[in-house]
Amino acid sequence: MSEYGPEARTRGGVLRGALRDGVASFLGVPYARGPVGALRFRAPEPVGPWEGVREATAFGPTAPKRPYAPPLDALLPDPEVAGDDCLNLNVWAPWRGSAPDAPEGGRPVMVWIHGGSLVHGSSSVPVYDGTAFARDGVVLVSVNYRLGIEGFGVLPDAPANLGLRDQIAALAWVRENVAAFGGDPERVTVFGESAGAISIAALLASPLARGLFRRAVLQSGAPMALPLDRARRTTEAVAARLGVAATAEALARVDGERLLAAQTEVTGKGSPLTGGHSFQIAVDGEVLPRDPAEALAAGASDGVDVLMGTTTEEYRLWFVPGGTVDRVGSVGQRLVLWKTGVPSRTARVYRAGRTGEKPGEVLGALATDKLLRIPLNRLADARLRSGAPGGTYLYEFAWRSPVLGLGACHALELGFVFDTLDRPETRALTGPDAPQGLATAMHAAWVAFAATGDPGWRAWDPARPVMTFGPGTPSLVEAPREAERLAWDS
C-alpha cells in the first residue's frame, strides 16, 4: 500500500483505492470502454491501458436511467452518477498492509448483478455495499451494465442483449484480474436479484459465459426470455414515439434525455403479470441460442452449484404501495387470471386455502408463484432428475416488514444478504427494527455457498427442503404450501 491508499495492479494498469478496517475498496473501475459515440449500441470493447496510477475511490457513472416512479422511489434508492463511462465495476477485498489478505490460491469471489426491471438500478446503491462480504473473507465485485433500450433494445443493425454482453465482459474482466485483489478466478459465484437473477439464468444458458463462474445465486428471478420478434416490439414502440426508424443508426442520433423520456412513457404501464411494453432478454441465437428455461431444464447449468429462492410475498412491493391490493375485487381478480392464462382450478386451490385474504392478496399470491416460485421449483426438479453434478439449494425469505404493510415483499431480503441493515437506504424498506440475527444468518449462508458450494442446509431432494429465513429463527421446511404448488401441475 502506498501512503495514499491500497494499490492493485490489473491488466489495464495500477488502481488506487481506499482502506478502512481491513477492507480495501476500489470503485468505478472500467471493465470496457464507454458506450458512446461510435461505440453506442455496439458490443463492449476492452479498455486500453492507462499510465500511472488511476484513482478508484468514487463510484463510476451509472447507465442512463430514470428514477423509480412514486411511490417506489421512496422505497428503492437509485442513485445517479453522471458521466459516459458507465461500464464500470467495484471491488471490495480483505487487505493487510500493502497487499491483499488472502490465503494461497485466493479467496472466493462473488459478482453482484443488480436488479431494476432492466431499466433501473446500479452498483452504487448503498444497500449493495460489499464491506460485510470482504469482512467475512470474500472478494466482492459489483457491476454496472447498460439498461433500457441501450442495453436491451432489439435493432436490425446492432447486436442484441448488449446488457448481457456487458455482464459477460465484466465476468471476463474478473477472471483476468481478480487475483490482483486476492480472489480465486476458479471460485467465482455470480449472484443477483430480480432482473439480475433473470440475467444470471440467461448467463447459465449462454455459451459465451461458460467457464466464467462456478456457482450462481438467483434471488427472486427465474429463467425468462422472449423470441426476437416479440422482444423487438418495445424498441419499435419507443422509436415510433420518437418518430424515428427503429434502428441503431437513427436512435443514436436522438438526444439521451429525449430517448429516456420516450422509453419511460412506453414502458411506464408495463407489468410482468398483465403484459404491456417492457424490456426483456431476447433469444438472439448467439448470446442466448434458446429459451433459458428450456436450456436449463435440458441440463445447460449442469456442473454449476445453484442457490435460488423468493420472498414469501413478492407481490406486495408491486400491489401494496399504489393500493392495487385493495382495489382488486373478485371480478377483477378473475379477469386478470383469465387474461394471464392461470387455470381456474389453480385459482380455486388458492382461494380455498386463503379464505381470510382479500381478492387482491390472493391474486398477488398467484402472481408470485406463477412468475417466480413455480419456475424455480421446476428448475430444481429438473436438476434433480438429471443427476448431474452441481448442488441445488432453495430458500424462502419470510420475515415481514412493517413499513406500509409491505410484509415479506420483493427486494426485502437484500439488506439481509449484504448485512447492511444499518443503512438508511435499507431501512426505507425494512424499518428501523429488522432482526440483525436473521441478517447474520442469511449473509453467512451466502458466504458459505460461495466458499464451498454448500449454504448450510440439505440439498434439494424429493422431500423439497426449503430453508426459510424468518419470521423467527431460520428453519428448514419441507414442501411449503404444497397444495398450491401441485395446483399448477394438475
**What pLDDT score does 269 carry?**
77
Q: Give the active site residues.
A: 194, 314, 410
What's the residue count for the chain?
Answer: 490
pLDDT exceeds 90 at position 276:
no
Across the range 426-451, mean pLDDT stands at: 98
Under a CB-based contact definition with an 8 Å cutoff, are residues 386 and 294 in contact?
no
**What pLDDT score does 389 carry?**
87
C-alpha span between 289 and 408 (Å, rounded): 35
Please, what are the domains in the chain? 7-486 (3.40.50.1820)
Which tens digit of pLDDT belongs to each residue from 362-392?
A: 999 999 999 999 999 999 999 999 988 899 9
Q: DSSP letters along 292-361, please?
A: HHHHHHTTTTTTSEEEEEEETTTTHHHHTTTTHHHH--HHHHHHHHHHTT--HHHHHHHHHH-TTS-HHH
pLDDT exceeds 80 at position 273:
no
C-alpha span between 447 and 441 (Å, rounded): 10
- Identity of residue 195: A
pLDDT exceeds 60 at position 2:
no
Report the mean per-residue pLDDT for the chain. Answer: 96
Across the range 389-400, mean pLDDT stands at: 96
**What pLDDT score does 3 carry?**
65
Under a CB-based contact definition with an 8 Å cutoff, are residues 308 and 218 in contact?
yes
**What pLDDT score does 272 carry?**
59
- The three-class DSSP label of residue 477 is strand
**What pLDDT score does 4 carry?**
82
Across the range 233-241, mean pLDDT stands at: 97
User: Strand pairing partners for 139?
Assistant: 109
* β-strands 18-20, 23-30 pairing: antiparallel
C-alpha span between 167 and 144 (Å, rounded): 8
Instruction: Please name which of 395, 374, 376, 380 lies closest in space to residue 455, comparing C-alpha atoms.
Output: 395
C-alpha span between 103 and 207 (Å, rounded): 32
- What cell does 351 get? 382461494
Which tens digit of pLDDT belongs to each residue from 98-126?
A: 899 999 999 999 999 999 999 999 999 99
Number of H helices, E strands in the chain: 18, 17
Across the range 42-54, mean pLDDT stands at: 96
Which tens digit of pLDDT belongs to each residue from 197-233?
A: 999 999 999 999 999 999 999 999 999 999 999 999 9
pLDDT exceeds 70 at position 322:
yes
**What pLDDT score does 268 carry?**
85
**What pLDDT score does 1 carry?**
53
- Sorting pLDDT into bands at 50, 70 and 90, what band is 271? low
Helix axes 359-368, 330-339, angle to 10 degrees: 20
